[in-house]
Amino acid sequence: MDDSLLFPLKLSVQVATVATVFVVIVGLSAAYILSRKNFSSKELLDIILTLPLVLPPTVTGYYLIVLLGRNGLLGRYLYAWTGWSIMFTWYAAVLASFVVALPLMVKTARAAIESVDENLIHASYTLGHSEYWTALKVILPLAKKGIIAGTILSFARAMGEFGATLMIAGNIPGRTNTMPLAIYSAAAGGDRSQATIMVIVFTLFSGLFLYFANKLSRRIL
């Protein structure tokens, strides 16, 4: 079990990166569907996807437990078939970060996709391109700014996730103690020096991340 101060940072970056990858894939798909398709339950889908943004993370965490706990609505089947539960694993931390960061991606990407000039999309269709090709080569590149902004926001949110993570991944040193959880433990345990060091490291990391993210986005755009 790795007890060092670096483990929480390493774990947070790992969890946030994996979560962001899923957020981009799922979020972009959802944003595309919400902005360009019409179906009866569209508003309901939008509300469900946005809910984790409005609900306190502990409420989201509670729902995840009800769904995926060992005796949860879905979790019980997973446990019965595989003897495995997501609770108290770093995958649970990824799931928590994914759920809370997804709305940020969906909202920003949807706005970006909706702002793409409809004429350009029609032009692509009249030239014979498929919807898939149009989405990939016309819409997404034109919505680049919003998508990148959404990705940065999602990663940042995933790095800072605390409430839902604490509930489903627990705060197990060396296994699921992400930086926010480790700082909380240090502060609650009266370990001021540990807490201070971690807070400074985390702030520096976040600052550097934003600096490079901005630089990169300027270069791409």
Binding positions for other proteins, rule: CB under 8 A: 1, 69-71, 85, 87-88, 166, 170-173, 185, 187-191
Retrieve residue 154's tokens.
């999602």
Residue 23 CB, nearest distance to other proteins (Å)?
26
Q: Min. distance of Cβ 217 from other proteins in angstroms? A: 36
Of residues 71 and 203, the one with the C-beta less far from other proteins:
71
Shortest spacing between CB 5 and other proteins, in angstroms: 15
- Return the number of the residue (51 or 78) whose C-beta is nearest other proteins: 78
For the CB of residue 70, give the shortest distance to other proteins in the complex, in Å: 5
Quick one: 12 or 176, whose CB is closer to other proteins?
Answer: 176
Output 153 or 169, the one with its CB closest to other proteins.
169
Instruction: Provide the minimum distance between the beta carbon of 16 and other proteins in the complex, in angstroms, as a whole number.
Output: 22
Residue number, 60 or 154, with CB nearest to other proteins: 60
